[in-house]
A = this chain, B = another copy of it.
Amino acid sequence: MEDVAARAGVSRALVSLVMRGSPKVGRERREAVLEAARELGYRPNMMARGLAAGRTGIVGVLLADLHDPWCAAVHDGLADEAPRGDVRLLVSTGRGRPARESAALDDLLDLRPDGVVLVGPRVPAADIDRAAAGCPVAVAGRSVRSGRVDCVTGDDAAAVAHAVEQLKALGHRVIACLDVGPRPSSLRRACEAAGLTTVAGADELPASATAVLALGDTTGTAALTALLRAGRRVPEDVSLVVHGDPPGALSAQVTTVAAPAAELGRLAMAALLDRIRDGVSAEPRRVTVPPRLDERATTAPVRR
């Protein structure tokens, strides 16, 4: 910094102001400083800055699983909203394992971020609450009972209900639910409540069903290929709705129903930024995002 100041013929303090983008520096000197910095390849040291300033300008993002396209979509929303707060996003992940996720969360907290967003976390609620004691925390995609974290969630029951409603409107009466792997219990309950017969394998889909609701992105792909391979045309013989944002949903033209993931991200980041500004004191927000059904090429009226 001293070198830059010397080269630009100004004081160290002025360089500091310029690098922080302070408005009260004349354009003449400002440009001289920026030029000198560029020539010298100077970049402010975030560690030192964070230490001195007491804030880092970092928002830590804990993604449950990098392989999950839903997490990526939520991150998009976070990144869209982040510029409003002048923060940079840094991502860490537990790779689907709760234990590693705890460690990853600790790593983030060690950085003293200005705030943390947990995306689809699988860590115990106690861990989340403890984290929230030290810095602002927002959670997307899971409801956490805590007096100090903001939660933004989709409404699984509403999504299932919405899908079933739509399929019934198309005349479908026998609707099967394909549910592979671990799913939030709320989803499972919603399916039961809607009176769906649930199967755990794509090959077990009952022949009598004229419509299928697949839970999850990859499950949807599996269902589609299994149906087609079994010689059942989609949507002529069977309609398919996928809960989630299937990778390639657009190119595959699959009808989907879900809370828009990016919207979850946007709202979570908005809540977090507010909390960063207003201090941890604020009332915790609990936002529920309604599902959206994107009708594409895999749904049609039932054949008579």
Contact with A43, one of B106, B224, B234 (Cβ below 8 angstroms): B106
* Shortest beta-carbon distance from A178 to chain B in Å: 11
Q: What separation, in Å, do the CA atoms of A251 and B67 have in the docked complex?
A: 15
The number of chain A residues with a CB under 8 A from chain B is: 54
Residues of B within 8 A of A72 (CB): 66-67
Q: What separation, in Å, do the CA atoms of A214 and B4 have in the docked complex?
A: 53
B95–A93 CB distance below 8 A: no
Residues of B within 8 A of A107 (CB): 88, 90
B202–A110 CB distance below 8 A: no
A229 at the interface (CB under 8 A from B): yes
Residues of B within 8 A of A50 (CB): 47
- With A106-B43, A229-B228 already in contact, the answer to whether A247 and B90 are too (CB < 8 A) is no
Which of these binds chain B: A9-17, A21-29, A186-194, A215-223? A215-223
A255 at the interface (CB under 8 A from B): no
* Shortest beta-carbon distance from A296 to chain B in Å: 12
Within 8 A of B (CB), among A2-53: 41, 43-48, 50-51
A67–B66 CB distance below 8 A: no
Q: What separation, in Å, do the CA atoms of A225 and B297 have in the docked complex?
A: 11
* Shortest beta-carbon distance from A299 to chain B in Å: 14
Known pairs A46-B112, A88-B92, A225-B225. 11 more at Cβ < 8 A? A46-B47, A46-B111, A48-B51, A66-B75, A67-B72, A79-B93, A91-B93, A217-B247, A221-B221, A228-B228, A247-B247
